Amino acid sequence: MNTAMSTPQLTIDLAALADNWRALDSLTDCETAAVVKANAYGMGAAQAVQTLVKAGARHFFVALAEEGATVRQALGPGPRISVFSGHMPGDHDLIAAHDLTPMLNSIDQMLHHVEALPGHSFGIQLDSGMNRLGMEAAEWAALREIALAQNPVLIMSHLACADEPDHPMNAAQLNNFIEMTADIGVPRSLAATGGILLGSGYHFDLTRPGVGLYGGLPFAQARSVVALDLPIIQIRDIDEGETVGYGNTWYAQRPSRIATVAAGYADGLIRAMGPRAQLFADTARCPVVGRISMDLITADVTDLAQEPQSLSILGPTQTVDDLADAAGTIGYEILTSLGARYQREYLT
């Protein structure tokens, strides 16, 4: 009996996720949190946080209060769940009900939080130069004494160029962060995955790894967490000169065998990767031919000795960063784009 399924299979290795957390934790002498925003970078927030809490994580970060509510439901009471976007209008009920800790980004958010939820835990996000999220130096100088009197649980900032160790922005942001937080008596955090790898000067009291947990660069030693196999719908023989796919963008330069697999850009396999992407039968390369369709991809399987039932697009042979190169993007986007139609299997 054939047990192959008609839907692509996404396999998520939770043991590798836990190993990656422990490996990043071992690089520092401080506390190691875990960033689980965007549904744990597409891996599934509930499964990820339950794995990470067993590995030893006690502090989780999300982007939005709604995500924090999901994580709290998976974790139960106890671990701290912090929200990068801070305390936004309308977040009051979620923050209170799920014991979330907003990272306040502005004087407006600070005033709003203290008025709406006096005594409720909060942290402060400072902007040390990225100009994206957090209080500016002048804003912080004006607010600092008032804010510290309210007992923030964490002061944090975020690096703009940590994936490039030699970028002068790293030292500049480090200096700004130290200047803004000297002698402050509150736990501090600056480093995500890239910052951990920059060395102990960037670690402070808590690190916040994200992409490295999920097997992505810049943590080159990460274990691969995700594998994605795409079932073949059919294989056809075509003559030299025949075209394949939308817009007739590819034609066969020799008699060819073309496999059509059941996944496409609606599954997060970014359309732009078409001309450079490869599928794999074990370690044998099968170049994508023609445009990636919404639900279908065509690949050249002419050189395979046997007809497989599926082809791999992510796994040990082709990492999220390899596929990102083909798509002209970064591994982070490959991970967070992984689609809703996959059958998900978790390895523990």
54 is catalytic: no
CB of 305 within 8 A of CB of 271?
no
**Residue 54 beta carbon to a second copy: minimum distance, rounded to whole angstroms:** 25
Q: Which of 160, 91, 158, 168 is nearest to 122 (CA)?
A: 91
For a second copy, the binding residue among 143, 336, 344, 346 (CB under 8 A) is 336
Q: Taking the alpha carbons of 141, 151, 128, 72 in that order, is the dihedral positive or negative?
A: negative
For a second copy, the binding residue among 146, 248, 254, 347 (CB under 8 A) is 248
- Write the binding mask 171 to 210 for a second copy: x where contact by CB under 8 A, - elsewhere: ----------------------------------------
Counted residue by residue, the chain has a size of 348
For a second copy, the binding residue among 44, 152, 212, 245 (CB under 8 A) is 245
Catalytic position from the list 214, 246, 332, 342: 246
Tell me if 306 contacts a second copy by CB under 8 A.
Answer: no
Tell me if 262 contacts a second copy by CB under 8 A.
Answer: yes
Q: At residue 142, what is the residue type?
A: A
Task: CB nearer to a second copy: give 54 or 66.
Answer: 66
Catalytic position from the list 37, 202, 332, 342: 37
The CA distances from residue 186 to 130, 147, 157, in Å, are 22, 11, 13
Span interacting with a second copy, options 16-24, 126-134, 146-154, 176-184, rule CB under 8 A? 126-134
Three-class secondary structure of residue 62 per DSSP: strand
Count of residues that bind a second copy according to CB under 8 A: 78
For a second copy, the binding residue among 22, 167, 223, 344 (CB under 8 A) is 167
Tell me if 215 contacts a second copy by CB under 8 A.
Answer: no
Tell me if 137 contacts a second copy by CB under 8 A.
Answer: no
Tell me if 286 contacts a second copy by CB under 8 A.
Answer: no
Runs of H (alpha helix) within the chain: 14-25, 37-41, 45-55, 65-75, 92-97, 107-116, 137-149, 168-181, 193-197, 320-327, 331-337
Tell me if 271 contacts a second copy by CB under 8 A.
Answer: yes
For a second copy, the binding residue among 15, 117, 148, 330 (CB under 8 A) is 330
Task: CB nearer to a second copy: give 1 or 26.
Answer: 1
Tell me if 212 contacts a second copy by CB under 8 A.
Answer: no
Q: What is the 3-state secondary structure (H, E, C) of 255-323?
A: CEEEEEECCCHHHCCCHHHCCCCEEEECCEEEEECCCCCCCCEEEECCCCCCCCCEEEEECCCCCHHHH
For a second copy, the binding residue among 54, 236, 254, 276 (CB under 8 A) is 236
246 is catalytic: yes
Task: CB nearer to a second copy: give 77 or 90.
Answer: 90
CA 291 to chain centre: 26
- Write the binding mask 68 to 87 for a second copy: x where contact by CB under 8 A, - elsewhere: ----------------xxx-
Omega before 218 within 30 of 0, i.e. cis = yes
At CB < 8 A and 24+ separation, what contacts does 117-120 make? 117/87, 117/92, 120/95, 120/96
Residues 16-75 within binding reach of a second copy (CB under 8 A): 37-39, 41-42, 63-67
CB of 278 within 8 A of CB of 318?
yes
End-to-end CA distance of the chain: 27
Q: At residue 118, what is the residue type?
A: P
Kindly list the catalytic residues: 37, 246
